[in-house]
Amino acid sequence: MSGGFISGGSRTGLAYVVLGVFSVLLIAGFVVADRLAPAGRRLAKVAGIDPPAYFAVSHSVLFDHDFDLSNEFRRYPSDDNPWTKVRPETGRPGSAYAIGYSLLAMPFLGAGTLLDAVAGNPADGYSRFAVLGYCLTNLILTCLGLMVLFGLLQQVSALWGVSGQRATWYALFATGAVFFGTSVAYYGFSHMSHASTFFCASLFMACWWKVRERTDVRGWALLGLFGGLLSICRWQEMFFVAAVFLFDLTDKTLWSRFLPWLRSRAAYLGIVALCWIPQLLEWKSIYGKFFSNPYGNVPDFPPPWVPQVLFSTRNGWLFWTPLALVGVCGLLYGLAKAGRVFLPWLVVIALEVTLVSASSATWHGGDAFGCRYMTSSAPLVALGLITILCVANRSIRLITICVTAVCCLFTSLFAVQLRLDLIPHGERLTAAECFTDKLRILQVRRRKVAVQQARNYLQQGSADAAVRTLERAADLYGSDREVWNVLRTAYRAAGRTAQAENADQQWQRVMQSRLW
C-alpha cells in the first residue's frame, strides 16, 4: 500500500522492512508448522463451529456462484451448530455469519486452487493448497493490517507535534504492542472473522484520518468502501461507519461548506450501501428475505453483563488483554486535549461493549481467547497508546513502555495456555491459572500430559496406574482442577472411597476458588 495511507520516507523505510520481515516469518512459520503438524494438529484445516460456515460461503460463491452451501457442509460440516441447519423457507443450509470475511478469503482460496492445479491435485477448492491458501487469509490480512496501522500511527503522532525518527519508533512500538497485547495475534491464526475486522478497521481509521476534514467525493467514497467491508465482516462494526458523523457534528465550519460536505457524505453512505448488496443477496437466497436476523436473539437492555465483559476471568476484555486499558486511558487523555478527534472512537468502544454485554447467551464469546468481539477495536487501542507515548513526559513514557511490555507478555502467555489447552475454555479461572501457571508453562504442560495418561489408564481399566500417575504429577507439578477431577474418579475405580471423598472436597475447593 502506498500514498496517503503509508508513507515511504527514508525514516520509515527500516520500520517497514522490520514489519515485512516479521510478516514473512509469521507466514513461513504457519506453513512450516502446518507441515510438521505438532501433536498431530494441522494449522490449515476447516473444522469446528464457525470456520466451516465461513469457508462454505467462500467456496460456494467462488465455485458454484450461489449461496447453496449444501455441498460444502457435506465436505466440512459445522459442529453441532443450529444456525447451519436447513432452512424451511428455502430448503438451503443456514448461514448466520457476516459475509465479509468469506469474500475477502476468496482470492486466497482461488490462489491455492491454482497451485493445486499446477501440482496435479484436484482443482476443486478442497485440496491441500486450496485449504492452505484459505487458512492463510487471516494471517495475511493481519500482517497487512499491521502495516496500515503503523502508517496511521505515524500520522497521529503529527497531531501531537511529534515527527521524524521519534514518530517512527513510537508507531512501530505501538503496532507491535497491539499485535502481542490484544487478541490480534491469536485470531491471526484462527479461521474466524476477527482478523478481517482488524484489517478493515485499520484501513478505515487510516483513511478517515486523511479525509476527516475534507469534502472530496473520491476520498469519502474510498472511506465508504472500507467502512462497508468492515461492517459486513461483523455487523456490529456499523458503529465505526456512523462514528465519523460525530466528528462532523462538532465542525464549526460545516454550514459554510454544507453542499460539498453533503455530496461527499452521500458518496460515503452510498458506497457503504453497495457493499451490503452481497449480504442482502445471501439472506434472500437462504432466508427468503433481504433483511434477516439469522441469530434470532434480541439484545437485553439495559445490558446486564458490562462488568463481566470488561473484567471477568471468563474472557473479560480488560482482564485478558490489559493493554486495552492503557489504550482507553490514552483515548481519554486525547479526549481532553482534542475532543473532536477522540470522542467518536470512545463512543464506538462504549457501544461495542454495550452490545456485547446485551447478549446473555454469548457475551463471553464461548470457547474464545479474551473478548474476541473487541478485536476490531485494536486500532483504537493503538490510537490511545501512541497518544500517551507522544504527549507524556519521559518518566510517564518509560512507565508506559514497561507496563505495555508486561501487558503483552501476560496476554501472549494467555494465548500459549489456551492453545495448549492448559486452561479450561470458556470458564472462570483460578488465580493460579491466571497468574502463577504462566510462569511455569512447561510444568503445567507435563501435568496436562499426565492427566491424559491417567484418563487412558482408566479407559483401559487400570485404575491403580491412573492413581499412581496422578499422585506423582501432583507431587512434581502441583495439583489443579483436572488432577482432582480425574483423581476422584480413579480413586473410586480403585475402590479407595475415603480418598475419593477427599479428592471430591479438594476439587470443590478449587472450583470455589475461581475468580470472578
Label residue 254 by pLDDT band (50, 70, 90): confident
CB 147 within 8 A of CB 12: no
**Residue 372 domain-assigned (yes or no):** yes
- Tens digits of residue pLDDT in 163-190: 889 999 999 999 999 999 999 999 999 9
Domain range for 129 is 44-135
How big is the CA angle at 461 (ends 458 and 462), to the nearest 5 degrees?
75
CB 357 within 8 A of CB 126: no
In this structure, are 481 and 365 located in the same domain? Answer: no
In this structure, are 167 and 126 located in the same domain? Answer: no
Q: Cell 492448559 sits at which residue? A: 422
**Residue 401 domain-assigned (yes or no):** yes
Mean pLDDT of 459-469: 93
Mean pLDDT of 214-237: 97
Label residue 306 by pLDDT band (50, 70, 90): very high
Of the ranges 11-25, 49-63, 140-154, which one carries the lowest mean pLDDT score? 11-25
pLDDT at residue 7 above 70? Answer: no
pLDDT above 90 as % of the chain: 85
CB 282 within 8 A of CB 67: yes
In this structure, are 263 and 290 located in the same domain? Answer: yes
In this structure, are 393 and 462 located in the same domain? Answer: no
What's the CATH code of the domain at 500?
1.25.40
The Cα 231–Cα 243 span in angstroms is: 12
Mean pLDDT of 237-252: 94
The Cα 362–Cα 308 span in angstroms is: 12
List the beta bridge partners of residue 93. 86
The number of folded domains in the chain is 3
**Residue 31 domain-assigned (yes or no):** no
Strand, helix or coil for residue 440: coil
In this structure, are 317 and 356 located in the same domain? Answer: yes
Within 10 angstroms of residue 334's Cβ, the number of other Cβ atoms is 25
Cell of 281: 443477496
Average pLDDT of the residues of the chain:
93
Q: Exposed, middle or buried by CB within 10 Å (0-12, 13-18, 19+), for 453? A: middle
Amino acid at residue number 142:
T
Helix (H) or strand (E) holding 31: helix 10-36
In this structure, are 115 and 88 located in the same domain? Answer: yes
Cell of 31: 506453513
**Residue 286 domain-assigned (yes or no):** yes
Residue 133: per-residue pLDDT = 96
135, 170, 195 - which closes a domain: 135
Label residue 9 by pLDDT band (50, 70, 90): low
DSSP secondary structure string for all residues of 55-106? HHHHHIIIIISSS--HHHHHHSPPTT-GGGSBPTTTSSB---S-SHHHHHHH
> Where do the H-state alpha helices sit in 212-322?
217-233, 238-249, 258-275, 277-287, 306-311, 317-320
| More confident position, 384 or 11 | 384
**Residue 3 domain-assigned (yes or no):** no
In this structure, are 366 and 439 located in the same domain? Answer: no
**Residue 148 domain-assigned (yes or no):** no
In this structure, are 97 and 216 located in the same domain? Answer: no
Helix (H) or strand (E) holding 407: helix 394-419
Label residue 42 by pLDDT band (50, 70, 90): confident
Mean pLDDT of 57-81: 93
In this structure, are 415 and 435 located in the same domain? Answer: no
**Residue 237 domain-assigned (yes or no):** yes
387, 419, 451 - which closes a domain: 419
Mean pLDDT of 320-326: 98
392, 419, 446 - which closes a domain: 419
**Residue 160 domain-assigned (yes or no):** yes
In this structure, are 490 and 342 located in the same domain? Answer: no
Instruction: Print the SS3 string covering 327-394.
Output: HHHHHHHHHHHCHHHHHHHHHHHHHHHHHHHCCCCCCCCCCCCCCHHHHHHHHHHHHHHHHHHHHCCH
- Tens digits of residue pLDDT in 374-396: 999 999 999 999 999 999 999 99
In this structure, are 412 and 450 located in the same domain? Answer: no
Label residue 39 by pLDDT band (50, 70, 90): low
Cell of 449: 500430559
In this structure, are 183 and 265 located in the same domain? Answer: yes
Cell of 258: 454544507
pLDDT at residue 1 above 50? Answer: no
